[in-house]
Amino acid sequence: MRGDRVEIVIDAGNEVRAYDIVATRNGRRVEVETGRGLVTVTEVTRSGNPVRTARFMASRVLALVEHPAADSRATADSEAANRLT
């Protein structure tokens, strides 16, 4: 879904670097795969075609945080509850 985001923090020798992969359009999502010493983060379309791909060595990844897109219905419910209190 648009708004899906994966944040990757890697060890780059003498420094730490952070990367964000974001689903930029409606219907796109971000998928994470791990295997054979690699972490692959891909933005894909509804039909499964990859749009952007980022690959990182698994031994260098310090943190990988997935931020799912906010559900608009859940957001509306929480906003309504905040207005009542």
Q: What is the pLDDT of residue 1?
A: 63
Kindly give the residue spans of alpha helices, DSSP state H, lying in the chain: 72-84
pTM for the whole structure: 0.74
User: pLDDT tens digit string along 55-64?
Assistant: 999 999 999 9
User: pLDDT tens digit string along 13-39?
Assistant: 899 999 999 888 888 999 999 999 999
Structure tokens at 30: 């971000």
Contact 42, 53 (CB under 8 A): yes
